[in-house]
């Protein structure tokens, strides 16, 4: 074997042979696609303020791809840049592959470069020229290691001027930003700046996040969600089988999902554990931390009375922000910390913060375990978000459940048996080899982006719909980034950001879960999904998520 390929697994060698299936509309290339404008699109909220901020890119029409001759885009070559922004998600390399192939199909002289290390690469003008040979070993692979990623926030006038200068110096005609809600907010801001300055540069976004919170009627799924939830479901399914074998532990499993519980709901639907906490439901019901603990304890006690001192509990990573009094506490903490970022040590932070908090929040903070209180005061991320991945919510719940069970033991003179094991599954799912669905979807998203930029479209998000059908039937086009936005408070100030899509409590996936959760709580209804399948019957290799199946079913 070639020495350069010794680090490549046999599975990766086989995955290189996989040829993503393009939607029929894209197969002949951009020169045979006619762009049709649909209805003009406004945001769901904050229309007046957003129109003031995005004077040049607000209220744009939906764009749909139809068969037919387009403007002759093959005569003029363009230079396109691509950048990964934010956390990794399975399938990112196929976005680049689809973008590259789409550009080269239109004109072999078209050039694709990749900015290195995320948005900071744009600011520092660090990039590499992408060739077919370089891409070969990255097709259908996980990770973002081809050009890496980063979380730099682009927001200052100096940064926008720097991008303008770097684009001019490198002769970049278009930028494709692959990212989640915050990253595509960057895309919208850059697109608006380019239009304001009459620079004739295109900016297009690609919907990426395993959290699943970047979606609407036009973006049916963000890429990576399918693969990541399949990976987590395998792990949770293995644990379910383990508890059903040993019958002596309660496993508290925290799953990634910073601001929404989509991952937890999907894994719950796939594996059917005893308890699945959905943050959005807890927030809607204004449940306190004590009430959440009481709910968990009630099921533990019921199962114990049936001789079952074991079970599996799924906890969304962002649960801490959905619990009513903690959400209010975090809101206050954000205000205090952002205005006093110079405070470095934990002790200084603690003394300062406690002195600034309202009495009810001070008392609640003091009631929390020291480790959790400290984690709530950790530095915020570049977008002003609490670093929820560093807050060990599952351990907080275990301690409070233990405490409550001891109280019940004294009251009822009953010997509750409770042994807990905690887990956090997050990074395990972000760079997995993409499922066939994600490999096809990301390739199509990249190719779709090529069609948009070749036609001079800017301020849009690449949109592929009809995802429950085979890829050949998928519908392609673009939607304005501004239609997904609202105004939120970040770093103590109100700014435009893409609105996160939370679990819909009236939606079919959640209703399916509610219909079954009582049965799952007391019975051992565990399902063991097993690993992601790449080869075999299509009903195994190409199946979509339960979420997508239920949401898009007739």
Supply the DSSP string of 217-283, one letter for each residue.
Answer: SS----BTHHHHHHHHHHHHHHHHHHHHHH---EEEEEE--SS--HHHHHHHHHH--SEE--HHHHH
The residue from 101, 173, 211, 438 that is catalytic is 211
Q: Which of 410, 423, 411, 400 is nearest to 300 (CA)?
A: 400
The CATH 3.40.50.460 portion of the chain extends over 225-429+506-552
pLDDT at 324: 81
Q: How high does pLDDT run on average in the chain?
A: 91
**360-372: average pLDDT:** 74
More confidently predicted of 325 and 204: 204
pLDDT tens-digit readout, 54-72? 999 999 999 999 998 767 7
The residues, any chain, with a CB within 8 Å of residue 131's CB and separated by 6 or more, are none
pLDDT for 5 beyond 50:
no
pLDDT tens-digit readout, 74-111? 888 999 999 999 999 999 999 999 999 999 999 999 99
pLDDT at 416: 73
The residues, any chain, with a CB within 8 Å of residue 355's CB and separated by 6 or more, are none
**30-50: average pLDDT:** 96
More confidently predicted of 384 and 450: 450
- Provide the token pair at 217: 């009627």
Q: What is the pTM of this model?
A: 0.92
CATH class of 30-223+434-490: alpha beta
The residues, any chain, with a CB within 8 Å of residue 324's CB and separated by 6 or more, are 282, 283, 286, 287, 288
d(CA 220, CA 217) in angstroms, rounded, equals 6
- Provide the token pair at 207: 């919907």
pLDDT at 338: 62
CB 184 within 8 A of CB 223: no
Q: Which of 228, 328, 238, 236 is nearest to 283 (CA)?
A: 328
Measured over the CA atoms of residue 230, residue 232, residue 235 and residue 240, the dihedral's sign is negative
| Residue that has been written with the tokens 């929404």 in this structure | 260
pLDDT tens-digit readout, 497-542? 999 999 999 999 999 999 999 999 999 999 999 999 999 999 999 9
pLDDT at 410: 81
CB 271 within 8 A of CB 265: no
What 3-state DSSP class applies to 361?
helix
d(CA 48, CA 29) in angstroms, rounded, equals 39
The residues, any chain, with a CB within 8 Å of residue 6's CB and separated by 6 or more, are none
Q: Which of 29, 521, 26 is nearest to 277 (CA)?
A: 521
pLDDT at 2: 42
More confidently predicted of 451 and 386: 451
Q: Mark whether 306 is an active-site residue.
A: no
pLDDT at 341: 56
CB 138 within 8 A of CB 93: yes
The CATH 3.40.50.450 portion of the chain extends over 30-223+434-490
User: CATH assignment of 225-429+506-552?
Assistant: 3.40.50.460
pLDDT level of residue 8 (50, 70, 90 thresholds): confident
**292-303: average pLDDT:** 96
CB 35 within 8 A of CB 65: yes
pLDDT at 1: 35
**392-421: average pLDDT:** 87
pLDDT tens-digit readout, 110-132? 999 999 999 999 999 999 999 99
Q: What percent of the chain has pLDDT over 90?
A: 78
């Amino acid at each position: 074997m070639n020495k350069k390929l010794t680090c490549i697994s046999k599975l990766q060698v086989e995955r290189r042979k996989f040829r993503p299936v393009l939607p029929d509309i894209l197969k002949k290339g951009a020169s045979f696609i006619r762009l049709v404008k649909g209805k003009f699109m406004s945001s769901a909220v904050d229309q007046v303020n957003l129109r003031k901020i995005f004077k040049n890119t607000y209220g744009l029409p939906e764009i749909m791809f139809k068969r037919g001759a387009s403007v002759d885009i093959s005569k003029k070559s363009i230079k396109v840049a691509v950048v990964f922004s934010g956390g990794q998600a399975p399938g990112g390399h196929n976005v680049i592959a689809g973008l590259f192939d789409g550009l080269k199909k239109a004109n072999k002289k078209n050039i694709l470069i990749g900015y290195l290390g995320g948005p900071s690469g744009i600011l520092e003008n660090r990039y590499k020229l992408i060739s077919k040979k370089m891409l070969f070993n990255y097709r259908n692979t996980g990770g973002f290691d081809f050009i890496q990623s980063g979380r730099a926030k682009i927001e200052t006038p100096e940064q926008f001027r720097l991008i303008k200068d770097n684009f001019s110096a490198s002769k970049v005609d278009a930028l494709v930003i692959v990212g989640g809600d915050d990253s595509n907010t960057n895309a919208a801001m850059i697109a608006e700046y380019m239009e304001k300055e009459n620079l004739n540069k295109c900016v297009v976004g690609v919907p990426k996040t395993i959290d699943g919170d970047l979606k609407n009627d036009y973006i049916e799924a963000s890429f990576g969600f399918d693969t990541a939830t399949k990976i987590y479901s395998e792990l949770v399914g293995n644990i379910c089988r383990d508890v059903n074998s040993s019958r002596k532990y309660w496993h508290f499993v925290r799953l990634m999902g910073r601001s929404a519980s989509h991952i937890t709901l999907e894994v719950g639907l796939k594996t059917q554990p005893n308890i699945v906490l959905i943050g959005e439901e807890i927030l809607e019901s204004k449940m306190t931390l004590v009430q959440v603990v009481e709910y968990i304890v009630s099921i533990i006690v019921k199962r114990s009375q049936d001789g079952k001192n074991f079970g599996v509990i799924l906890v969304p990573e962002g649960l801490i922000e959905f619990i009513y009094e903690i959400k209010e506490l975090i809101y206050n903490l954000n205000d205090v910390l952002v205005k006093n970022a110079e405070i470095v040590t934990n002790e200084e932070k603690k003394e300062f913060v406690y002195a600034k908090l309202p009495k009810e929040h001070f008392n609640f903070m003091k009631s929390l375990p020291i480790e959790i209180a400290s984690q709530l005061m950790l530095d915020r991320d570049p977008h002003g978000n609490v670093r929820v991945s560093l807050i060990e919510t599952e351990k907080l719940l275990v301690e409070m459940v233990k405490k409550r069970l001891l109280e019940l033991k004294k009251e009822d003179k009953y010997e509750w048996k409770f042994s807990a094991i905690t887990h956090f599954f997050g990074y395990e799912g972000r760079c997995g080899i993409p499922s066939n669905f994600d490999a096809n979807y990301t390739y199509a998203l990249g190719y779709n982006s090529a069609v948009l930029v070749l036609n001079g479209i800017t301020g849009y998000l690449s949109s592929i719909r009809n995802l429950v059908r085979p890829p050949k039937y998928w519908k392609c086009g673009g939607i304005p980034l501004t239609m997904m936005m609202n105004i939120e408070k970040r770093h103590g100030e109100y700014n435009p950001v893409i609105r996160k899509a939370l679990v819909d409590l009236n939606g079919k996936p959640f209703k399916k879960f509610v219909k079954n959760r009582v049965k799952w709580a007391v019975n051992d209804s565990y399902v063991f999904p097993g690993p992601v399948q790449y080869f075999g019957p299509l009903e195994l290799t190409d199946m979509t998520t339960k979420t997508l199946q239920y949401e898009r079913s007739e």
